[in-house]
Amino acid sequence: MTAYQGVARGSCWLSDEAATVAAGGGLAAALASRALLIFLRGDLGAGKTTLVRGLLRALGHSGAVKSPTYTLVEPYDLSTGPVYHFDLYRLGDPGELEFMGIRDYLDGHALCLVEWPERGEGVLPRPDLVITLRLDGVGRRLETVAISPEGAEVLDGWLGQEESPDDAQDRR
């Protein structure tokens, strides 16, 4: 699995589903309409779609949030701009992303949230932010790495930043 080295890191513990929804809302606020590419990593049932649901609700989406497991992508046309929610779990081959015209989604006009980005490795570009969710006690641990300066800005407004150990090492 790719180990992401970024410019900043953050983490928090989410005690229950409501906390994951709230974290998604906080991310929406920190994004402030930036059209970033965000990877959501974590096992089946880790809470990726729950986080997206909280984000979409906070951006004003009132309907259901379907997991796009079979359609691969679900579009949302929101007042803050377009959002595409991808779930690549059932992607057979990263090359299929070219067929679905992935570049048109990722041309910078829309916020793109990608569950199971590992499945698109080699075709998907570098994200701005990588969020990883994992089971931790009765809740979930959320860890995030900002890859781009814009991602770091969002992370700062969302969870606050911890200095990346790699950056600290660079200065020694």
Ligand X SMILES: Nc1ncnc2c1ncn2[C@@H]1O[C@H](COP(=O)(O)OP(=O)(O)OP(=O)(O)O)[C@@H](O)[C@H]1O
The distance of closest approach from Cβ of residue 7 to ligand X in the complex, given in angstroms and rounded to an integer, is 25
> Site map for ligand X, 95-134, x if CB under 6 A?
--------------------x-------------------
Among 4, 12, 17, 143, which residue sits at the site for ligand X (rule: CB under 6 A)?
A: 17
50: contact with ligand X by CB under 6 A: yes
Cα separation, 8 vs 159, in Å, equals: 11
Considering CB under 6 A, how many residues would be counted as binding ligand X? 18
12 three-class SS: strand
The distance of closest approach from Cβ of residue 144 to ligand X in the complex, given in angstroms and rounded to an integer, is 15
**Is 47 or 151 the residue whose CB approaches ligand X more closely?**
47
Give me the phi and psi of 20, to 5 degrees please: -70, -40
Among 48, 53, 85, 119, which residue sits at the site for Mg ion (rule: CB under 5 A)?
A: 48
Q: 3-20 burial, b if ≥16 CB within 10 A, otherwise e?
A: ebebbbbbeeebeeeebb
**Is 43 or 167 the residue whose CB approaches ligand X more closely?**
43
Cα separation, 140 vs 125, in Å, equals: 27
**Is 112 or 152 the residue whose CB approaches ligand X more closely?**
112
Among 6, 8, 10, 19, which residue sits at the site for ligand X (rule: CB under 6 A)?
A: 19
Among 67, 71, 148, 161, which residue sits at the site for Mg ion (rule: CB under 5 A)?
A: 67
The distance of closest approach from Cβ of residue 9 to ligand X in the complex, given in angstroms and rounded to an integer, is 19
Long-range contacts of 162-168 (CB under 8 A, 24+ apart): 162/8, 162/9, 162/10, 162/11, 163/8, 163/9, 164/5, 164/6, 164/7, 164/8, 164/9, 166/5, 167/7
Cα separation, 136 vs 123, in Å, equals: 31
Positions touching ligand X (CB under 6 A) are 14, 16-17, 19-20, 42, 44-50, 67, 87, 115, 139-140
